[in-house]
Amino acid sequence: MQVNVRNKGSITILDIEGKIIGADALALKSIIDQQIQTLSSEAEHGENLNLIFNMERVQMMDSTGLGILVAAYTTIRRNEGRVVLLNLGGNIRSLIVMAKLMTIFDCYNTEAEAIGHFL
């Protein structure tokens, strides 16, 4: 699994690639936690804590990975930030639906729409 971090104004986009399973899911957690920490310390009240997880190149995710997305969501919200999911593949979407988490996550199919969420 690989993660590329890029910025669009005050929005941080994590392009995630590969399989979010096992130890790789835990590696993703460290990357997300680090981003949250950096962004939270940069601004008061979650001003810059706007994250997009781009899942376009995620081939597979297990419950460890899903748990990490949920933990990221709760931490970001607690820090008054926002997070959206972009480009969910069929199997990832089914996983989120099965876990009844579709109402929790804001999901978009294009980057422009995802960015629009924060404007």
Partner 1 sequence: MGERTEQVITLSLPSSMRHVYLLRAVVTEILKEADFDEGTQERINLAAIEAGTNAIEEHGDREDPGKSTIFQLILNEDGLTINTIDEGEASTHKAPEIEQVITLSLPSSMRHVYLLDVVVTEVLKDSDFAEEIQEQINLAAIEAGTNAIKHGNKENPSKKAIMQFLLDEDKLTIIVEDEGEGFTRKEVADPLDPENLLKSSGRGLFLMEACMDSVTYEANGTIIKMVKYKT
| E strands, the chain, in order | 2-8, 11-20, 50-61, 82-86, 106-108
CB of 10 to partner 1, least distance (A): 26
Count, residues in the chain: 119
Note whether 66 binds partner 1 by CB under 8 A: yes
- Residue with smaller CB distance to partner 1, 100 or 119: 100
How many Cβ atoms sit within 10 Å of the Cβ of residue 64?
16
d(CA 8, CA 32): 17
Least distance in angstroms from the C-beta of 28 to partner 1: 12
Please state the closest distance from residue 88 (CB atom) to partner 1, in A: 14
Residues near partner 1 (CB under 8 A) are: 19, 21-24, 26, 60, 62-64, 66-68, 70-71, 73-74, 91, 95, 98-101, 104
